[in-house]
A and B are shown apart, each in its own frame.
Chain A
């Protein structure tokens, strides 16, 4: 299967800890996206990369959040000093053109 891969699938952490998620997009997809989804809501846009350049960021992406895509391939999303409100599903998607996004299965974060 050459779909979008996210790791870990589940993460439980204590408030105040730092967490990092990884996303491996479909190879040769130059566009990569991070979204956040809470229960009963649709995904909310966080940020977008084209190759290694971070071109768009939501105001939801506070200074505790940082995303990187160092070589234009995989991406990481780090949350520092986690808060209970950060509990959500973090979804990664990739696309060759921007018209059709392919989502991974997400990382479910629980902050205790």
Chain B
């Protein structure tokens, strides 16, 4: 079983739709949870960063962490064609380890 599982999609939605992306994980020691966006031929770019359980909102993006279920989500409201990219979840234990464990990424296309 991989430490982090993410449905690779692809996911195709019309412009303006609400997008839901999610990951599950098996390592209960993970404390820090992130979502990265990666455009083709580019490095990942951090979108959201959350410590422990709870919700965090930033503009059209909302990140949710449920540590009891080992499940994290990213919601994108009013999706735009410019949101078309691969979305990667990532997590780390902290406590001296700087290693991020990434999911495979979900490829999202937002159609005008």
Interface bits A83-110 vs B (CB < 8 Å: 1, else 0) = 0000000010100001111111110000
| Distance, CA A85 to CA B105, complexed state (A) | 21
Contact pattern, B 63-107, Cβ under 8 Å of A = 1, otherwise 0:
000000000000000000000000010100000011111111100
B41: chain A residues within 8 A (beta carbon): 105
Task: Decide yes or no: A43 and B42 within 8 Å by CB, A56-B99, A99-B49 being known contacts.
Answer: no
In the bound complex, what is the Cα–Cα distance between A99 and B99 (angstroms)? 11
Q: For the side of the interface on A, what is the size category?
A: 20 to 34
B103 to chain A, nearest CB (A): 5
Binding site for B on A (CB under 8 A): 4, 31, 33, 35, 40-45, 48, 55-56, 58, 91, 93, 98-106
Q: Can you give 30 A-B contacts (C-beta < 8 A)?
A: A4-B43, A33-B98, A40-B8, A40-B104, A40-B105, A42-B6, A42-B88, A42-B90, A42-B104, A42-B105, A43-B88, A44-B102, A45-B99, A45-B100, A48-B98, A55-B98, A56-B97, A91-B43, A91-B44, A100-B46, A101-B44, A101-B46, A101-B100, A103-B43, A103-B44, A103-B45, A104-B43, A105-B41, A105-B43, A106-B43
